[in-house]
Amino acid sequence: MKKVIVGVALLVFVLPALLAACGGDEIKVPAGAIAAVGSGVVTQEQFDQIWAQAEAQYKSQEGSPPFPEAGTAQYKQLKASIVNYLVQNQVIADKAAEMKVTVTDKAFQERMKQIIQQVGGQKKLDKLLKEQNVTQPQLEQQLKAQMLQDAVQKKVYADIKVSDADVKKYFENPANEAQFNVPESIDARHVLVKTKAEADKVRALLEADNTDANWKKVAAEYSTDTGSKSNGGSLGNFPKGRMVKPFEEAAFALKINEISQPVKSQFGYHVIEVTKKTEGTTQTLEQAKTTIEQQLKYQKQSTAWEDWLKGAMAAVGIAYAPGFDPATLTTSPSPAASASASP
């Protein structure tokens, strides 16, 4: 559930590069601010809050890399992302007012209630927020900003449509042909052991009683595959290319309900049975239509939002305080500059 809160608090990590510096040389950045956005500002305090949250969230995620060191490319990228996040929120808030787009208190309370339920109650939410250095008011502010963006996006997307002609053109494009081919697949189960002697013993037990109940018993007792031993050795359905080669070649060569001889792979010895075979097929236009429509609609929405955001940022005008311009933070040094800096 941590991802829900991280997703609200640190959208900064997934913002598009289009939020680079946007003119605004005539705009002055007042003291205590890191950016001037039209008639509004992004304050140093807002930046520091999100930065502190980022540090806490790095520490709270098991196995995550260490927090970026000052001066590194990762550090600058994080700094730019946070600036972009805050600037985007301000731009959207300005434009939302012009568009008469709002988030009602009722909608906000319902969304907040959903989050509390998802994490298992207010106490668990409080604990999670504390771990990530986020206060309840900060969470609510960031959630409202996200909901406002969603509402603006909905209006931007209102006229986007995907026609039957669009779908047909995509389907008939040779470059997309592979997407509509469903490969041959099988349903199989196996018992994995360390030695051939064990595999021979397992095979004999299964040959003597090839029932689901016995597969469950034998797999539970002998299999070293922790992912399948508790469900009778079932691997579910899979196409070619999913499993290691020795296993795949043996499995696809089997007849239905035939138990294989021991098959050696890098993991040990497998005793395999195929329980079902599904022939490969090619989807028709009608079968693929819904998926294509969704894909094309997403592409159009993504482009429309990017275009809208670029236009909105250009319209309001943006200026950055020294050291906070995302374009400067994320620009790689030129070869000439690197060479001249070398001893």
Q: Do residues 12 and 128 both lie within one domain?
A: yes
Q: Is residue 335 predicted with pLDDT exceeding 50?
A: no
In a domain, 75, yes or no: yes
Specify which of 15-29, 134-148, 326-340 reaches the highest per-range mean pLDDT: 134-148
Token duo for residue 29: 């950045």
Q: Do residues 192 and 69 both lie within one domain?
A: no
Q: Which domain holds residue 255?
A: 184-279
Note the pLDDT of residue 105: 96
The domain total for the chain is: 2
pLDDT in tens, 161-187: 999 999 999 999 999 999 999 899 999
Q: Do residues 6 and 131 both lie within one domain?
A: yes
Strand order in the sheet with 40-43: 40-43, 33-37, 318-320
pLDDT in tens, 216-258: 999 999 999 999 999 999 999 999 999 999 999 999 999 999 9
Q: Is residue 38 predicted with pLDDT exceeding 70?
A: yes
CATH number at residue 57: 1.10.4030.10
CATH number at residue 255: 3.10.50.40
Task: Give the list of residues 6+ apart from residue 18 with CB closer than 8 angstroms, or none.
Answer: 306, 309, 310
Q: Do residues 305 and 156 both lie within one domain?
A: yes
Q: Do residues 49 and 126 both lie within one domain?
A: yes
Q: Which of the four pLDDT bands, split at 50, 70 and 90, describes residue 85?
A: very high
Task: Give the list of residues 6+ apart from residue 290 with CB closer than 8 angstroms, or none.
Answer: none
Q: Do residues 22 and 142 both lie within one domain?
A: yes
Q: Do residues 67 and 191 both lie within one domain?
A: no
Q: Is residue 334 predicted with pLDDT exceeding 70?
A: no
Q: Do residues 138 and 256 both lie within one domain?
A: no
In a domain, 114, yes or no: yes
Q: What is the 3-state secondary structure (H, E, C) of 23-79?
A: CCCCCCCCCCEEEEECCEEEEHHHHHHHHHHHHHHHHHCCCCCCCCCCCCHHHHHHH
Q: Name the domain boundary from 226, 253, 279.
A: 279
In a domain, 174, yes or no: no
Q: Do residues 147 and 194 both lie within one domain?
A: no
Q: Do residues 102 and 199 both lie within one domain?
A: no
Note the pLDDT of residue 267: 97
In a domain, 179, yes or no: no
**What is the rounded distance in angstroms from the CA atom of residue 169 to the CA atom of residue 46?**
47
Note the pLDDT of residue 62: 78
Q: Do residues 189 and 112 both lie within one domain?
A: no
